[in-house]
Amino acid sequence: MVVGVVGLGLIGGSLALALRRAGHIVIGKNRSAGAIEYALSHGVIDRASDDLSECEAVFVALPPRATTEYICTAPFKRGAAVADICGVKAVIEREVLARRPNLCYVGTHPMAGKEVSGVENACADLFDRASMVITSNARTDGRAYETIVGLVKDMGFLRLVECSAEEHDKKIAYTSQLAHIVSNCYVKDGQIDGCLGFTGGSFQDMTRIAGVDENVWTELYLANADNLAGNIKLLAAHLCETAAAIERGDAEALRSLLRAGRERFEDGKSNSFQGERIRTTLLK
């Protein structure tokens, strides 16, 4: 299959490499000539073109606003499956349905990445054993949906997670965006200075994603503002409750708060954190 990839960064480049590994022909498009040159010289793509109208499927790996504008204005082959890979889904889905209702659009979000960026860090096995979230609605084209599912399998993903765009955004606000904000806030108080020799796995886990790209993540956070703001407020309330118990020296209250968190985590782990309105399928 001839597949287009728009945006040759870490994720777009890795998509291209995984698709080529599976035997597909990949045409790349990128605003920066340097990324195109690297992709061509290192076998990330088969060729480059601004015109992807011959592609049977196109993955758009751009920030949310740029993704929406490209999908709503670019020429595509009639019946081509067009998928974005953004970390927010509902705002893009609504815009595409309003502006281009006949487009065979499918929302996707690969749950894999690195702390580095750029096509030079792309790798063909980034998605091996990872999850791919695919979102749909009553107007999603069935053939396009199946095309994307087939490509997801080809790229090496282990798990397919199917849900609505709204459900995706609720979950990702908690599992990804909130975690990035907590990590970023954790390092701001100055105490990180002088930590050499005092750190273990917990510190590394808490700070690994502190260095967010503020331009990319600001757009993602604001596109999912309601879900994310609610999660931040709830977390802050739990933190304040715990701080109050410690300040009072109230051992029983503190034990109760810690027990509640442990039990809630264990309850979730016992059913593999399964949830309603979400369908999960193992692909291998």
d(C-alpha 261, C-alpha 284), whole Å:
33
Note whether residue 280 is domain-resident: no
- Among 105, 140, 164, the domain-final residue is 164
Q: Nearest to residue 39, comparing CAs of 63, 66, 5?
A: 5
Residues 50, 143 within the same domain: yes
Q: How many CB atoms lie within 10 A of CB 282?
A: 8
Question: Based on the domain organization, do 178 and 138 belong to the same domain?
Answer: no
Residue 284 resides in a domain: no
Looking at residue 213, its pLDDT comes to 87
Of 164, 189, 216, which closes a domain? 164
Q: How far apart are CA 209 and CA 166, in angstroms?
A: 25
Model pLDDT, residue 212: 84
pLDDT tens digits, 159-179: 999 999 999 999 999 999 999
**Residues 122, 174 within the same domain:** no
Residues 6+ away with beta carbon under 8 Å from 30: 6, 7, 8, 12, 36, 39, 48, 119
- This prediction has a pTM of 0.93
CATH, residue 239? 1.10.3660.10
4 in Cβ contact with 53 (< 8 Å): no
Residues 157 and 175 reside in one and the same domain: no
Select from 153, 160, 147 the least CA-distant residue to 1: 147
- Contact between 86 and 92 under an 8 Å Cβ cutoff? The reply is yes
The predicted-structure confidence for 67-98, as pLDDT tens digits, reads as follows 999 999 999 999 999 999 999 999 999 999 99
Instruction: Yes or no: say if 282 and 158 are a contact pair by the CB < 8 Å rule.
Output: yes
Look at residue 190 in the predicted model and tell me its pLDDT.
86
pLDDT at 274 (0 to 100): 79
Residues in the chain predicted with pLDDT less than 50, given as ranges, are none
Asked if residue 148 and residue 101 are part of one domain, the reply reads yes
H helices present in the chain, as ranges: 10-21, 33-41, 64-73, 90-99, 142-154, 165-172, 178-186, 201-207, 214-223, 225-248, 251-270
Helices (H), 121-213: 142-154, 165-172, 178-186, 201-207
- Residue at 249 is within a domain: yes
Q: Are residues 173 and 160 in the same domain?
A: no
Q: What share of the chain is helix, strand, coil (3-state, %, to 5)?
A: 50, 15, 35
pLDDT of residue 41: 97
> Does a structural domain hold residue 219?
yes
Q: Are residues 128 and 209 in the same domain?
A: no
In a domain? residue 279: no
Together in a domain, 186 and 146: no
Instruction: State the total domains in the chain.
Output: 2
CATH number for the domain that contains residue 103: 3.40.50.720
Q: Which domain holds residue 258?
A: 169-270
In terms of domains, do 111 and 158 share one? yes
Residues 184 and 259 in one domain: yes
pLDDT at 68: 97
Same domain, 55 and 155: yes
Same domain, 79 and 192: no
Q: Is residue 98 part of a domain?
A: yes
Last residue of a domain, one of 144, 164, 184: 164
240 in any annotated domain: yes
In a domain, 282, yes or no: no
